[in-house]
Amino acid sequence: MSVRILLECVDSFGRMAGLRANVLKSNIYMAGVKEPDRSEILRMCGFRQGSFPFRYLGIPLAVARLRESDYSVLINAISRKISAWPRQTLSYTGKLELIRSVVQGVECYWLSVFPITCGVIDKINSVCRSFMWTSKHHSIAWSKICSPIEDGGLGIRDLRAWNKALLTKTLWNIHINKDTLWVRWVHHYYWNDVMDWRWRKDDIVLIKKLVEIRDELLAREGSWDAVVARLSIWFGTTRGLSEAYMSFLPRAGRWPWKPFLWRPHILPKHRFALWIFAHGKCLTKDRQPYILDKSCGLCGTVNETAQHVFFECTASTQLWVRLWEWLDVQCMARSMKGLLRLLRRRFRGTTMRARRCHSGIAALVYHIWSARNRALFDSERPDVEVIFRKILIHVHRTLAAG
C-alpha cells in the first residue's frame, strides 16, 4: 500500500508541474526490494528495471565497489582526446600544456568523486606518458615529471596526491555539515562527528578512504583541533586545493637548477632541452645498450656521452668559446657542475647580462643537441657559424619580447 501511495504522489506532483516521465527513456533501480513489491512497482510505473552500474551525470553508480573496467569511460575519454592531437609534430612543451590543461581537467571530476584505484591511475599515466614521449624509451620517469618545479619536475599533477586533496575537501564539507543532499545522508547514516567515525566492513569505499585521510591528517597534525584549523586554512581560501595537494605530494628537496631554468626570457623548447640536460638524461648512445655503434653523432671519433657531446666535442667546444666571448666571461665551464657553479656565482640576478647568459646557455644546449640529432639521422655536418647565428637570433628575440 505504501508503494502505491508513493507512486501516486509522485505522479500527481508531476502532473501539477506539467511534467511527465518518458517511459521509453526511463529506468527504475531497486536495491533491497522484495519480489512482490518489485513486481508491483514495475507494473504501476511502467518503467524498465535497470541494472547496476549505470551512469549518472557522467560517472558510474554501483551498489558494490567499482572495478577497473567501470572506469573505461574515463580512460577512453582521455584516449580520444589524446589521439586527436598530432603527436609527431607537437613540441614537448605543447604536449605538456595539453596534458596539463585538457587531460587533467577531464580527470578532476572523477577524482573528486571516487578514490581512484592504483590500476586506473597507472593506465591514465601510461596513456599520457606514451603521448609525451615519441619513442618507447623515455628520457625521464613520469614520477619525476609529476613532481613540483621546485623539486626538478614539470608540475604535472600527481594523480594519487590530487585524488587525496579533492577527497579532503569532501571530508571538510562533511565536517562543516555543508547543505547538500549527500552530506545530509552521511550525517544520517553515519555519525555526526567526523572524529568519531570508525569504518565498518560493509562501508562504501569512499567512506573508508575518507577515514584513512582523516587518520593521516591526525598523525601529521597531532590533534583533531589542529586538523580542523589546517582544513579551514586550506578550504577557506581559493588556494586551498593547491595547498592540500602540495601537502600530500612527496617532496625531494629544492632543485639547484630551478632559479635559472624557469625564466620568462628562455624559449619553452630551449627550457625543455635544458631541463633534460640538467637532469643528465639526454639519450646519448652510452645510455642505449641496444645500439652497437657508440661513436659520437657529431664527430664520430670517440664514444658518445653527454659530457663529450656538450663539452668536449669539437663543434660544441667552439660554440662554448664563442658564447663566452660574446658574454664577456673569462672563466669557461667544462662540465655540468662547472656550469651550475658559474651560474650560481656570477649570474643569479635579473640583470640584462644575467638574462643574456640564461637565454644563451639554454639556446646553446638546445642547438648542440639538435645538431647532434641532425648529424646522426640526416648526415648533416654541423656548421658552427650558422648554429651560433641562430643562438644569437633567439637570444635577441626573447630578450626583446621580455
Specify whether the CB–CB gap between 246 and 148 falls below 8 A: yes
C-alpha cell of 319? 660554440
Q: Please report the pLDDT score of residue 2 as a whole number.
A: 54
Q: Is the dihedral of CA 15, 18, 22, 27 positive or negative?
A: negative
Cα 141 from Cα 125, distance rounded (Å) = 11
Sequence-distant (6+) residues with CB within 8 A of 161 are 245, 248, 249, 250
Cα 348 from Cα 333, distance rounded (Å) = 16
CA distances from 228 to 84, 131, 177, 197, 219 (A): 44, 41, 13, 15, 13
Q: At what angle do helices 104-111 and 72-83 cross, to 10 degrees?
A: 170
The ranges assigned to domains in the chain are 2-51, 70-161, 171-248, 258-401
Please name the residue that has the C-alpha cell 665551464.
Answer: 333
Measured in degrees and rounded to the nearest 5, phi and psi for residue 345 equal: -85, -35
Q: What angle do CA 75, 77, 79 make, to 5 degrees?
A: 70
CA 160 and chain centroid, separation: 10
> Does residue 191 sit in helix, strand or coil?
coil
Count CB-CB contacts under 10 A for residue 39.
12
Cα 162 from Cα 249, distance rounded (Å) = 8
Q: Please report the pLDDT score of residue 392 as a whole number.
A: 94
Please name the residue that has the C-alpha cell 587525496.
Answer: 164
Sequence-distant (6+) residues with CB within 8 A of 298 are 309, 313, 314, 315, 316, 371, 372, 375, 382
Q: Please report the pLDDT score of residue 158 as a whole number.
A: 92
Q: Please report the pLDDT score of residue 322 as a whole number.
A: 93
Q: Which among 248, 73, 84, 68 is positioned nearest to 157, based on CA atoms? A: 248
Q: Please report the pLDDT score of residue 374 as a whole number.
A: 92
Cα 223 from Cα 129, distance rounded (Å) = 40
Q: Report cis status (omega within 30 of 0) of the bond before 86.
A: no
Q: Which residues pair with 27 in a beta bridge?
A: 48
Q: Please report the pLDDT score of residue 165 as a whole number.
A: 92
Q: Please report the pLDDT score of residue 331 as a whole number.
A: 74
Measured in degrees and rounded to the nearest 5, phi and psi for residue 5 equal: -60, -40
Q: Which residues pair with 303 in a beta bridge?
A: 295
Q: Please report the pLDDT score of residue 383 as a whole number.
A: 92
Q: Please report the pLDDT score of residue 7 as a whole number.
A: 54
Q: Please report the pLDDT score of residue 18 as a whole number.
A: 59
48-49 vs 54-56, strand pairing mode: unpaired
- Which helix H or strand E contains 59, and what residues bound it? strand 59-61
Per-position pLDDT tens, the chain of length 402 = 455 555 555 555 455 455 677 767 778 877 777 888 888 777 777 778 877 777 777 777 777 777 888 888 888 888 888 888 888 888 888 899 888 887 777 888 888 888 988 899 999 999 999 888 877 777 888 999 999 999 999 989 999 999 999 999 988 888 888 888 878 878 777 766 777 777 777 778 888 898 899 999 999 999 888 998 999 888 877 677 888 999 999 887 789 999 898 888 899 999 999 999 999 999 999 988 888 888 988 888 889 999 999 999 999 999 999 999 998 888 778 899 999 998 888 888 888 989 999 999 999 999 999 999 999 888 898 899 999 999 999 999 888 876
Q: Please report the pLDDT score of residue 1 as a whole number.
A: 45
Cα 178 from Cα 272, distance rounded (Å) = 44
Sequence-distant (6+) residues with CB within 8 A of 352 are 399
Q: Please report the pLDDT score of residue 276 as a whole number.
A: 94
> Does residue 295 sit in helix, strand or coil?
strand
Quickly list DSSP for 331-390.
SPP-SHHHHHHHHHHH--S-SHHHHHHHHHHHHHHHHHHHHHHHHHHS-PPP-HHHHHHH
Count CB-CB contacts under 10 A for residue 8.
11
Specify whether the CB–CB gap between 226 and 139 falls below 8 A: no
